[in-house]
Amino acid sequence: MRKIKLDLSNLDEVFPKNFTKEQIAKAKTIFLKELSFSAHKFYGGKVQTAPKAGVFGFNWFNVWYTPGVSKVSTTIRDNNDTSFELSNRGNYVAVVSDSTRVLGDGDCTPPGGLGVMEGKAFLMKCLGGVDATALCIDSTNENGEKDPDKIIEFVKMLQPSFGAVNLEDISQPNCYKVLDTLREECDIPVWHDDAQGTACVTLAGLINALKLVEKKIEDVKIVLLGAGASNTTIARLIIKAGGNPKNLALFDSKGGLHLDRKDIETDERFYRKWELCETTNPQKIDTFAEACKNADVMIALSRPGPETVKPEWIASMAEKSIVFTCANPIPEIYPYAAKEAGAFIVATGRGDFPNQVNNSVGFPGILKGALLVRAKKITDNMAITAAKSLAKFAEKRGINTENIVPKMDEMDVFPREAADVAMQAIEDGVARIEMSWDEVYNLAKKDISMSEKTLKMMTESGLIDTPPDEMLQNALKFAIENV
């Protein structure tokens, strides 16, 4: 068995040579899960609270706390907006979830979401220079039901301490009411990353994929498998970005969304799905297989695969078809199988395959831009601007069928995205303060660089322990033995 490197750069090369493509894909998934579990146990999670101000002598405790801090309290009392500059509020995000739809694992109980929410906070700090806290809450009411109003009330109550809120892993239909209510009624940005974040990065990938196949967004036929928060928002943003709703068709577990879906029309909780029933799929196609015929684009965010999407569906699509299969942790069909079926461009939500369409290149920059101009909300225009910013960044450095969106290690994408989003916030009239593009870019770049340097310094100095080699090799051995 070949040893796995600490940086995991040889992950595709360590499995037995007699493994098939499918076995390698399965083994990678098992390895990453096993290593993640061991690493979380080793570190006790992955985020912590650390001071950003110095203690230069004993009396500095009296500066940072009582009696000195009294002037800070009274100043904020007289003008609440000063809290953004006199506390960490201006760079602080609450990651809120009731853990009812955690990645591909469903309802994990409130504490079960902590791994993902801490991950969100980890990425915000590393990629956006943003501080964040995971807040997993119990949304169960006295009747034993998951109650969206409890989430709404909780977020409204925490507003004074945060500059923005990132909603995550809230099951539908509750997610629609929670986001739409809080976007309108809160005085800080409330962002649902499963919905808006995934939609933003998917749109970025679609923009560049369409450039490569020389097709226009207003002309292409698009089929979407899954009609949850992600795909319904993807469809909405595609339409706002120029897509023709008559060329779109969405499918949930019961079939196509269209005007004959009375089960959706009569359930007011699914109003976002009904809006799409009214505007898309005018042919009232009921089977996904039928809708795939001559489709230019497939976007799947549904049930984890690898056999959720059938190769014959892809084979029936138009020439130079674009296939996004983004279920986690396993895509609806593996990329190699989609390519063998005839797909021209394939994207997934995973970083160990080409074309990772993942909101991790979206939310750190988007939230950073919103925070820097103290935005009151994140508009759809801001999300579309972020998508165009991502697409432009990738196009400028070069795109091809295996590389249509920026990667998380292309660090300059985040301050640029932040600056573009901030300018759109100002244009949309939701920013509390105005700054130039260069001012936002430079501030964002400075904060991101500081986070990067801090992590590197802590790792190299031993303040962050290096995982033992045995941990990595045991995870690899476990993966090989359990394919």
Task: Report, as residue numbers or ranges, the catalytic residues.
Answer: 65, 120
Q: Smallest Cα–Cα separation from 226: which of 307, 309, 295, 284?
A: 309
| Close Cβ partners of 448 (under 8 Å, ≥ 6 residues apart) | 127, 128, 129, 368, 411, 414, 415
Contact at 8 Å (CB) between 173 and 354?
no
Nearest CA-CA partner of 222 in 264, 177, 285: 285
**Residue of 306, 362, 302 lying closest to 101 (CA atoms):** 302
Q: For residue 348, give both structure tokens.
A: 């997934």
Q: Is the peptide bond before 173 cis (omega within 30 degrees of 0)?
A: yes
Tokens of 251: 């499918």
Burial class (CB in 10 A: 0-12, 13-18, 19+), 462: exposed
Angle separating helix axes 229-240 and 271-279, nearest 10 degrees:
40
Beta strands 255-256 and 248-252: pairing type?
antiparallel
Cα–Cα dist 368/417, whole Å: 9
